[in-house]
Structure 1
Amino acid sequence: MSNLEDSDLPDDDTPSEEEPEEEWEEVSLEELGAVYAKVLAEADGNEAEPTDEEAANRDDTGDPPLEPPVEEEEVSTGPVTIEGIIEAALFVGHPDNQRLTAKQLAGMIRDVSPKEVEQTIDDLNTSYAEAGQAIRILREEGGFQMLLAPELETVRRAFYGKVRDAHLSQGAVEVLALVAYQPGVDAQTVQDQRGKESGPLLNQLVRRRMLRVERNKPAGGGRTVSTYFPTDRFLQFFHLSSLEDLPHVEEEGIISPPTDS
């Protein structure tokens, strides 16, 4: 059994160039539940074999080699403003493709409250519109995100191509099902239950904004553990109000629709 650590995950969640938006091929809730039941039923006895590259990179203890610490270079900066910090943070974005909250943004700036951050973002959007700039800061559930102005969507499509259909592979459906029914599951558990390497699929689904990842240090120390959760986009794709609306999967693998509350 290979031990899946964050250092083992392929660094493919940041594409080298902008990709066109995708509309995923329809997958039914019943299929999602059936896949979850099937994967769990087959999980016993399945073990994921390490790849040749993984085996070569492990030392005699079986653990991946530790990477040397990265030395930080001092960078001289000029005067900074609240607006500049907020714009820079939103332009770079969250490493896990999540929206940044007002509280997170305020935490980057001394003596600034979340309410002041929200007001500053409103002022920035006003200035963008008045100056005819191409960006906007979108406020949605979960935080803020910097995007192209809606009126320029036709330009984006002309440059990158039209929205294209994307096919969800069987492996991707399996991973989605395991995370949907076990929100907060870690990468190693997904791999063990599937009996196959799952890091690339998890990264792909995070990049496609169907899943989000949280990385936490264990209380007793040790390696950071990645845990995965369905996103709002996942709920929209399956027409769900919440994960409680998923079909119920019984121990025998029988699927029944959610009960009305």
Structure 2
Amino acid sequence: MTDSYLKGLIEEVLYVWADPINIDELSKILFDFSKSDIRKCLEKMIIERNDLGSGLVIRKFNDSFQFTTRKASDKYFETLLAKSEKKLTNSTLETLSIIAYKQPITRVEIDKIRGVNSQSTIDSLLDKKLIVEKGRLDKIGKPIIYATTDFFLQYFNLKSLDDLPEIRTGENEDK
């Protein structure tokens, strides 16, 4: 089987899947190909689509890939896509940023930082699939620990958590 055949299959899977798909899942679907061949092909496809100026590009989120439109084209699609359901409140953004920077973290730790109960905000973030329960701590009460998801990266247009902006504190800023 040729590279062009594998490229076509990957394009078809990315199109049909719609959401980000990781290499493990992709290799289960394309079982005739090795993970390394799929990864190499994806990397070539990313470069080719960028060089061609293609309308659909392949974006990488951690170890997941997805067809997306170019960021520069967003202004043309704003009216097409109703983004009102995507808006996050200030308390939701505050909680989400705490989780993003401190993960894995428990609700009690989040509450301590925020100074208020965060359970409803955490529930909202879970519903939006921006965070996930990553297990439980081996402490009294076995508290749930939370972390961000690949959808979080996609939502905020980040390749990985390393792309989060650095936190600046008042101590380091000029007065």
TM-score for the superposition, normalised by structure 1: 0.37
Higher relative contact order, structure no. (Cα contacts within 8 Å, ≥ 6 residues apart):
1
Over alpha carbons, which structure has the higher Rg?
A: 1
Higher-helix-fraction structure: 2
TM-score for the superposition, normalised by structure 2: 0.49
